[in-house]
Structure 1
């Protein structure tokens, strides 16, 4: 079993998962209250991925201030700080669609911001006040930075993150990796996508003709095609999100010993996720 997709710890399993443990649980629906939180492979351990504000999860186990959860969006499992979770779950109506945005205590951009949110954060909007949307938590967010409908083109979502610093396991504007960028782009268009590049490669069918929106794979790396000749990716080569000529990238990666190029895969446009 792939631990990343296995809703069980060494002592507790999610009921109905078919996994045998000394205890079974139905889990507890929770939501991420923090702007961004690391999803760890063990309590206090290494980061696998990140969760963004508003992400719905099922809490399966608890240990020393950490909770073992399964993310609703992609089934990814891991440990997150319990302090980052809340049981308060107002109806989600929108997502943040700008690369990043701020929350304010009043509908006034001259007020000191209270926190920042990354693209992909899920929000419960209760009303509109001028150029701001009022959230259930009482904060205000610029209305032009959110949407209740998915983007039509995942590459346009990816391009919003140009220049974002590279971060292993990152999923946000503050830092993102190759598979995080691919997932952010596809999720922003309402298309299902796993969290890691090997899972992404397994999930989508091969294609011999590269077109806009296809995913391009190397061992441990993924990029998204902007057209037949150009791609966008988060790369440790520049420690940022960049666009690059596909042929040049294939040659560069191969010369560095990180190849070979494994080909292109086409996301399933009819495999949708809940949006927002």
Structure 2
């Protein structure tokens, strides 16, 4: 009986095993000859699945997502989303200033959060502040926008604002825009480095051209696992960023992007995503790049240590591990 119950626990946990978007940390506790299911789950839907899987066994579950959650926002230029609490843990992504997160629980100076795209992880709590009541008005469209004390290129730098950051413009003056950032930081950036929200819907050909132009603007940015900015970026972070600049929301990781995109066949159009699998035979998606047209590819490559252009057919390891293409256009 015990082994059967434990097997059913393992089967259920396997259904919710993707720690990036799911939590189902449960176990069987026995006391006084009776058993109950205890643990922590992400939401009501997961709790219902547990209860349905064990209809005859009492459950005592902590549900992380609440009906009225506490919302926070990144208050620094950039911060890390880690797979465990601690700066030495694995870096999964890098949310930008103002990005909203749902607080699930706290552990000393660390917050376990859920991003609006469903991605879960740990953030350093001092780098978070209360989510602003106002919505952002613009999106930073250059890889890096210098933030000046005054609307003058010769004025002292206050900070830098990274591409993909959603910001609030409070004033414009002679080609400059004043930004009010989360964290009580204000300053001026050249207005041409911003795109007004909501982003307009472009004809497909024009949209593809802009995706390519935005991708080229990150050329030479170093590769960084979990990176999401011009300070360092990984392959899926690069694909996500380029699409974000045109108002297209992609999942964070390459396998998620592959699973959720629309399948396309050669010849590939500029802006299509080309995916590659691990070479060990399991065909697990491990890499993604953006087509510049057919097999010409721009990607954040570990072998190049940054964002560069390759031709898939001319590079042996790309040619042999190509797994398919997807589009979000």
Q: 1:216 to 1:27 in 2, by over 3 A?
A: same
Query: Counterpart of 1:169?
Result: 226
Displacement of 1:205 in angstroms is 2.5
Query: Counterpart of 1:36?
Result: 78
For 1:143 and 1:9, how far apart are their aligned partners in 2?
48
2:279 is aligned with 1:221: no
Q: Which SS does the other structure have where 1:114 is aligned?
A: strand
Greater shift, 139-148 or 218-227, is seen at 139-148
Query: Counterpart of 1:272?
Result: none
Please say if residues 157 and 184 of structure 1, whose CA atoms lie closer than 8 Å, have aligned partners that are also in contact.
Answer: no
Q: 1:87 to 1:62 in 2, by over 3 A?
A: same
Alignment of 1:6-155 (within 5 A): 6=22, 15-19=43-47, 21-24=61-64, 25=66, 26-44=68-86, 45-72=89-116, 74-89=117-132, 90-136=134-180, 137-149=185-197, 150=199, 152=207, 153-155=210-212
2:283 is aligned with 1:235: no
Displacement of 1:15 in angstroms is 4.9
Give per-residue Cα distances to partners, 1:91-120, cap 9 Å, x unaligned.
200111011011122222212211112100
Displacement of 1:55 in angstroms is 1.0
Please say if residues 9 and 61 of structure 1, whose CA atoms lie closer than 8 Å, have aligned partners that are also in contact.
Answer: no
1:245 alignment partner, one of 306, 311, 318: 311
More helix by share: 2
For 1:261 and 1:237, how far apart are their aligned partners in 2?
16
Unaligned runs of at least 5 residues, structure 2: 1-15, 27-38, 51-60, 278-285
Greater shift, 205-214 or 225-234, is seen at 205-214
Q: Which SS does the other structure have where 2:79 is aligned?
A: strand
Displacement of 1:41 in angstroms is 0.5
Q: Which SS does the other structure have where 2:20 is aligned?
A: helix
Unaligned runs of at least 5 residues, structure 1: 270-276
Give per-residue Cα distances to partners, 1:51-91, cap 9 Å, x unaligned.
1112111111111211111111x221111111111104132
Q: Which SS does the other structure have where 1:80 is aligned?
A: strand
For 1:105 and 1:49, how far apart are their aligned partners in 2?
29
2:265 is aligned with 1:265: no
Q: Which SS does the other structure have where 1:3 is aligned?
A: coil
Displacement of 1:129 in angstroms is 2.0
Q: Which has the larger radius of gyration?
A: 2
Q: 1:226 to 1:42 in 2, by over 3 A?
A: same
Displacement of 1:14 in angstroms is 5.3
Please say if residues 12 and 60 of structure 1, whose CA atoms lie closer than 8 Å, have aligned partners that are also in contact.
Answer: no
Displacement of 1:193 in angstroms is 0.5
Q: 1:108 to 1:66 in 2, by over 3 A?
A: same
For 1:42 and 1:9, how far apart are their aligned partners in 2?
15
Q: 1:40 to 1:84 in 2, by over 3 A?
A: same
Q: Which SS does the other structure have where 2:104 is aligned?
A: strand
Displacement of 1:154 in angstroms is 2.0
